[in-house]
């Protein structure tokens, strides 16, 4: 919705339920404030004042009026809330960019979660290779010289107690090999 005329902007049609939107003002302090209107019964207008912040629309103020002009006190309240949420968003943005790995490290869970994730990926890949090669769990157990119960335990994504040697053996049966690189 581009700037169109003077201090006020024209209404932009096309919202659901016959609603319209317009930018409240081009200049400070109300820059970035948008008003969305929707007609109600008894010649009343519901109005919502929103602003875009950090890629999100923030609802700042909602009210119902019969007058066509938006009262200054409602615009002032929305502007005040916009400024408050700007400050809050900037304070919160210090966490943007940190990774989930960093969070897990701070919690002391990185190694445990990483190990389980690798195990799940390997179990999935071996299961897929078995499916593609048309190898059943019983046949897999026979080739690995173990029981079907052991194979099910090794392929269980929630079982973290599987030895690397066992995973290598299962991979070899389906014609794959495990590669570990540091």
Tell me the per-residue pLDDT of 5-25, one tens digit each, with 9 for 90 and over.
333 444 444 444 444 555 555
Average pLDDT for residues 121-138, to the nearest whole number? 91
pLDDT for position 13:
41
Pairwise CA distance, residues 165 & 178, whole Å = 10
Pairwise CA distance, residues 41 & 49, whole Å = 20
Average pLDDT for residues 106-113, to the nearest whole number? 83
Pairwise CA distance, residues 30 & 25, whole Å = 6
pLDDT for position 16:
41
More confident residue, 77 or 2: 77
pLDDT for position 7:
39
pLDDT for position 142:
93
Decide if 130 contacts 174 (C-beta within 8 A): yes
Look up residue 111 and give its two tokens. 């190694």
């Amino acid at each position: 919705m581009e700037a169109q005329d003077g201090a006020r902007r024209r209404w932009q049609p096309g919202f659901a339920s016959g609603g319209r939107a317009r930018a409240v003002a081009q200049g400070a302090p109300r820059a970035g404030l948008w008003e969305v209107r929707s007609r109600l019964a008894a010649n009343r207008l519901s109005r919502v004042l929103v602003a875009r912040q950090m890629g999100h629309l923030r609802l700042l103020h909602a009210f119902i009026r019969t007058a066509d002009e938006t009262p200054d006190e409602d615009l002032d309240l929305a502007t005040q809330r916009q400024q408050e949420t700007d400050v809050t968003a900037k304070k919160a943005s210090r966490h943007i960019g940190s990774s989930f790995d960093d969070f897990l490290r701070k919690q002391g869970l990185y190694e445990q979660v990483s190990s389980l994730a690798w195990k799940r990926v390997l179990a999935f890949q071996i299961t897929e290779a078995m499916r593609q090669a048309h190898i059943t769990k019983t046949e897999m157990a026979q080739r690995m010289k173990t029981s079907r119960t052991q194979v099910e335990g090794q392929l269980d994504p929630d079982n973290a107690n599987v030895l690397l040697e066992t995973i290598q053996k299962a991979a070899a049966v389906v014609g794959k090999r495990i590669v570990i690189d540091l």
